[in-house]
Structure formats: structure tokens, C-alpha cells
Amino acid sequence: MNTHTSSAAVETTAVPAWLAEVMARPPVNPVPRVRRTAPLATDLDMGALLRFKSLMAQERQPVQVARMCFDRDYAYERIATAHASAHDPLRRLALELFQTYHVRDLVTSVGAAGA
């Protein structure tokens, strides 16, 4: 039994120096982490949205809760309409919802910039 390993066998299994150098370098364009851009319904307080829908119905203004969760422009338009109302509780709720949406937008933009 031959226990001596030839140098030719070692060279064929070893990584060539040029390849080891390439593998040691960081990637030129690392793959960015994917971040969702559409908010999930769980990001919002459903109770607040349902109250909002009810108060808006009293003002004869329809609100689609599902669309409020996923359509940013629609949500801001409905919030602006509510804030222009003369009904104080609706205006306060509109301000609360605006702040929630605004914070979510900031978090999303910071997350997208950091990815």
C-alpha cells in the first residue's frame, strides 16, 4: 500500500490561486434584499379603519376599508376629505390615520434606501 500522495494529485484538487483571489473579493453588485412596497393590512389598526368608515358614512362619504389598506393614494384622498369635514371626531381620526400612514411611508422609504 502506497501512503505517499503525489504532488500532482494535490494540485488538481487545490483551488488555483487566481480563483481563490476572485472568491475572496466581495461581490461588485450585491443582490439587494427585497422589501415589500405594498403595506400589509396588519400594518394598520383595523378598528380605527372601521370607525373611520362608519364616521365617513355618517357624512355620506363612502370608504372601502380593503382599498385603504393597499392603495396609498386612495387612503390619503379619503383622509383629506375626512379632515375637511366639520365633524370633530372624524377630523381627529383622520389626523390619527394620516400620522399612521405617514410613519409607514417613512419606514418604507428608509427600508428601500437601505436595501
pTM for the whole structure: 0.59
Amino acid at 35: R
Nearest to 63 by CA among 86, 29, 90, 43: 90
Give yes or no for residue 37 having a pLDDT over 60: no
Nearest to 39 by CA among 114, 96, 102: 102
16: confidence class by pLDDT, cuts 50, 70, 90: confident
CA distances from 50 to 38, 65, 110 (A): 20, 7, 29
49: confidence class by pLDDT, cuts 50, 70, 90: very high
Residues 6+ apart with CB under 8 A from 19: none
Longest Cα–Cα distance of the chain, Å, equals 97
* Exposed/middle/buried for residue 79 (C-beta within 10 Å: 0-12, 13-18, 19+): buried
Residue 38 pLDDT: 47
| pLDDT per position as a tens digit, 58-112 | 999 999 999 999 899 999 999 999 999 999 999 999 999 999 998 888 877 776 6
